[in-house]
């Protein structure tokens, strides 16, 4: 039997670093960098769980885990083509919190809350307040799903849906299980990597005891994100037959070398996660300093193909607003 846990993961989220000064003090980073970080965090606040921060190298302002979450002056620069809604989410809203971009699938924005604020987040400017399928609006979303028989898969996204309590998610998933034409439930979350304690016995039950085939998609960009505690936490999901996939984003200075990408694929597979997508950066305003030229991305994938078996090579893709699917690049 999977042991029941307390709400320790919620306490960890409540205690996340939200102060630049406090994070820098913990990581022993020079205070001279604080003013620019404060300026960059005014529109998109800092949020870093302490568990995740503990995997960062102290004294190193260029640590690849830190760079993913650290507000920097570069975010304030304008880059041509980098806009607030780079993948056209707002144009595909069918009901509060319901987006349909591709045939047969609907995405439900279950919450605007997130366990960490990644600086390259493509929804960092998304109007969650007016487009969130919160508690009072799930009925409308479920009604739309029940009236759309060609939908076979529901994707819970956000924000991060796993910031919601197990009780709320169990109620939502129970209702989804009652819609006969649905076949799969996919959840996109970074939280089990940030806070492994989020994989509770309750979560495993509501995800696996229903009729829908469960898929959990993580977002891991660097092999050092996968601690032993993360691997251990995922074991109950694997034992229950949950499909575990990863979608990484190719980021300058973080994972843009063959060695790091190879190590990432190996670490993912050792944790029971299959490398699925390697995304080109979505050109969201404030993230231009992370961008990688497409030619370099293709070269990196060619190197991965030489060094890894095919099942460990993710698909290099780009998402384009209005397209019928993600576009493979190589």
Distance CA 248, CA 277 (A): 6
pLDDT, position 4: 42
Domain 90-328 has CATH 3.20.20.70: yes
Q: Given pLDDT bands bounded at 50, 70 and 90, which one contains residue 93? A: confident
pLDDT, position 259: 98
Nearest alpha carbon to residue 119 among 275, 288, 257: 288
Residue with token string 């939280």: 191
Distance CA 20, CA 164 (A): 26
Q: Above 90 in pLDDT, residue 94?
A: no
Distance CA 291, CA 294 (A): 9
Do 256 and 292 touch, CB atoms closer than 8 A?
yes
More confident residue, 267 or 1: 267
Chain centroid to CA 59: 27
Could you report the per-residue pLDDT of 27-82, keeping only the tens digit for each? Answer: 999 888 899 999 999 889 999 999 999 999 999 999 999 999 999 999 999 999 99
Q: What percent of the chain has pLDDT over 70?
A: 95
Could you report the per-residue pLDDT of 151-186, keeping only the tens digit for each? Answer: 999 999 989 999 999 999 999 999 999 999 999 999
Over residues 204-212, mean pLDDT: 97
pLDDT, position 7: 60
pLDDT, position 180: 97
Question: 244: how many CB neighbours lie within 10 A of its CB?
Answer: 19
Q: Above 70 in pLDDT, residue 187?
A: yes
* Beta bridge partner(s), residue 215: 186, 243
Distance CA 250, CA 7 (A): 33
More confident residue, 203 or 158: 203
* Beta bridge partner(s), residue 195: none
Enumerate the CATH 3.20.20.70 domain ranges in the chain, comma separated.
90-328
Could you report the per-residue pLDDT of 117-152, keeping only the tens digit for each? Answer: 999 998 888 876 665 565 566 888 899 999 999 999
Over residues 302-328, mean pLDDT: 93
Q: Does the global pTM surpass 0.85?
A: yes
């Amino acid at each position: 039997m999977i042991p029941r846990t307390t709400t320790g993961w919620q306490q960890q989220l409540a205690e996340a670093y939200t102060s630049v000064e406090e994070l820098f003090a913990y990581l022993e980073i020079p205070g001279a960098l604080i003013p620019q970080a404060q300026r960059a965090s005014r529109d998109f606040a800092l949020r870093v769980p302490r568990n995740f921060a503990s995997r960062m190298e102290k004294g190193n302002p260029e640590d690849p885990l830190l760079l993913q979450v650290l507000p920097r002056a570069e975010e304030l620069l304008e880059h041509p083509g980098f806009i607030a809604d780079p993948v056209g989410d707002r144009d595909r809203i069918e009901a509060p919190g319901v987006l349909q971009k591709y045939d047969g699938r609907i995405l439900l924005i279950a919450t605007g809350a997130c366990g960490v604020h990644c600086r390259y987040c493509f929804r960092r400017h998304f109007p969650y307040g007016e487009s969130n399928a919160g508690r009072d609006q799930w009925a409308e979303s479920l009604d739309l799903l029940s009236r759309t028989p060609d939908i076979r898969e529901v994707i819970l996204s956000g924000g991060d849906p796993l910031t919601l309590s197990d009780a709320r998610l169990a109620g939502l998933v129970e209702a989804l299980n009652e819609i006969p034409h649905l076949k799969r439930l996919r959840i996109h979350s970074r939280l089990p990597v940030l806070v492994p304690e989020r994989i509770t016995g309750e979560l495993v039950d509501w995800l696996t005891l229903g009729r829908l085939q469960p898929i959990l998609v993580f977002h891991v960009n660097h092999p050092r994100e996968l601690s032993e505690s993360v691997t251990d936490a995922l074991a109950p999901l694997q034992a229950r037959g949950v499909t575990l996939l990863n979608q990484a984003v190719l980021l300058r200075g973080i994972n843009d070398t063959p060695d790091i990408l190879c190590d990432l694929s190996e670490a993912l597979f050792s944790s029971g996660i299959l490398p699925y997508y390697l995304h080109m950066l979505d050109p969201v305003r404030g993230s231009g300093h992370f961008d990688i030229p497409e030619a370099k991305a293709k070269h990196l994938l060619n190197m991965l193909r030489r060094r890894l078996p095919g099942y460990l090579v993710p698909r290099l893709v780009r998402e384009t607003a209005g397209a019928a699917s993600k576009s493979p690049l190589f």
